[in-house]
Amino acid sequence: MSDHLTGFRARLEAGPTVFAAWCGMREPAVLETILREGFDCAILDWQHGYHDQTSIETAILTAQAQRKPALVRIGVGDFAGAARFLDWGAIGIIAPMINSAADARMMVDFLKYPPHGGRSWGPTRATAMLGFTNPEQVKRGNDVTLAIAMIETRAALAALDDILAVPGIDGVFVGPADLSITLTGGATVDPLHAEVTAALKVVAQKGRAAGKIVSAFCPDGARANELTTMGYQLLSVGTDGFMLRSAARAELAKAKSG
Ligand code: 3PY
Ligand code: MG
């Protein structure tokens, strides 16, 4: 019944690459429509998207209606809020700007039950969604729900080995836009920058060697296709906003082309 949730980690580990619909828009029909095109799961963007708490909750259920897991990309350091999203049934949390082992340990402390962390009890919907009893939630929750650290600064790259070694960190997620900003000293933002591509290779190699899930944001499908060959296990492809804009622009250009 809930294999798509309890089996998500195994699916990521076994491959092939899992593709996520990046959802920043509050309107549930947007996520519903995009997911139906064959995406495997949803990433709900709380950090920079338009979401409020109600729309995150609705989006988790919208994905669930298609038996697809939903992960939430939280705000910087917003770990207390993140634990609530897990309670509501999110299968994973993607935390931005994890720049050190201390940041990673703080994240784990909020998102994992002992022995790894000190997550507070209160899985409002999660136990029912996962099909767990309360004791099963404590025993299996740590394994089933994913704590994924974003690698998106020069400092994070320097601390990558230490971040990967923190018990309870399940994976890393590269944020190529922020990474390009820090790697170029603020000169540009370019998620396809050559230095970002080089960093993506390093993160894939080190993350896989450490037995962690390696994942990344991709501005478009061509980039996602390229990253599957680097060993990435979870990739977001574009965003709802990008796709709407580019389709709108392209169709209007055709209409005006004479
Ligand atoms: C980045 O590229 O910096 C991200 O956070 C992905 O949206
Ligand atoms: Mg970012």
Atom of ligand 1 nearest to the CA of 150: 5
**In angstroms, what is the span from residue 133 Cα to ligand 2's centroid?**
36
Q: Is 202 in the pocket of ligand 1 (CB under 6 A)?
A: no
Dihedral over alpha carbons 116, 80, 178, 19 (to 10 degrees) = 70
Q: Is 217 in the pocket of ligand 1 (CB under 6 A)?
A: yes
Pairing relationship of beta strands 234-237 and 171-174 according to DSSP bridges: unpaired
Taking only the tens place, the pLDDT of each residue in 196-210 is: 999 999 999 999 999
Q: Is 177 in the pocket of ligand 1 (CB under 6 A)?
A: yes
Ligand 1 pocket mutation pick from 23, 74, 152, 234 by most atoms within 8 angstroms of CB = 152
Q: Which residue's CA lies nearest to atom 5 of ligand 1?
A: 175
Percentage with pLDDT > 70 across the chain: 100
Mean pLDDT computed over 12-35: 98
CA gap 255, 239 in Å, rounded: 24
The confidence band for 232, taking pLDDT boundaries of 50, 70 and 90, is: very high
Ligand 1 pocket mutation pick from 48, 74, 93, 178 by most atoms within 8 angstroms of CB = 178
Dihedral over alpha carbons 224, 226, 229, 231 (to 10 degrees) = -50
Q: Which residue's CA lies nearest to atom 4 of ligand 1?
A: 175
Contacts of range 194-201, beta carbons closer than 8 Å, 24 or more positions apart: 199/151, 199/157, 199/174, 200/174, 200/176, 200/227, 200/230, 200/232, 201/230
Atom of ligand 1 nearest to the CA of 181: 3
State residue 1's pLDDT score: 55
Q: For the residues of 185-250, what is the DSSP string, one character each?
A: TTS---TT-HHHHHHHHHHHHHHHHTT-EEEEEESSHHHHHHHHTTT-SEEEES-HHHHHHHHHHH
Atom of ligand 1 nearest to the CA of 178: 3
The confidence band for 258, taking pLDDT boundaries of 50, 70 and 90, is: confident
State residue 211's pLDDT score: 98
Half-sphere exposure of residue 240: CA atoms within 13 angstroms, side-chain side: 24
State residue 129's pLDDT score: 96
Mean pLDDT computed over 75-93: 97
Atom of ligand 1 nearest to the CA of 45: 7
CA gap 136, 125 in Å, rounded: 14
Mean pLDDT computed over 17-42: 98
Taking only the tens place, the pLDDT of each residue in 105-162 is: 999 999 999 999 999 999 999 999 999 999 999 999 999 999 999 999 999 999 999 9
**In angstroms, what is the span from residue 104 Cα to ligand 1's centroid?**
18
State residue 2's pLDDT score: 84
Nearest ligand to the CA atom of 216: 1
Catalytic residues: 48
Taking only the tens place, the pLDDT of each residue in 176-194 is: 999 999 999 999 999 999 9
Q: What is the CATH number of domain 3-256?
A: 3.20.20.60
Q: Is the pLDDT of residue 43 over 80?
A: yes
**In angstroms, what is the span from residue 71 Cα to ligand 1's centroid?**
15
Mean pLDDT computed over 31-58: 98
This prediction has a pTM of 0.98
Quick check: helix, strand or coil at residue 20?
strand
Q: Is 175 in the pocket of ligand 1 (CB under 6 A)?
A: yes
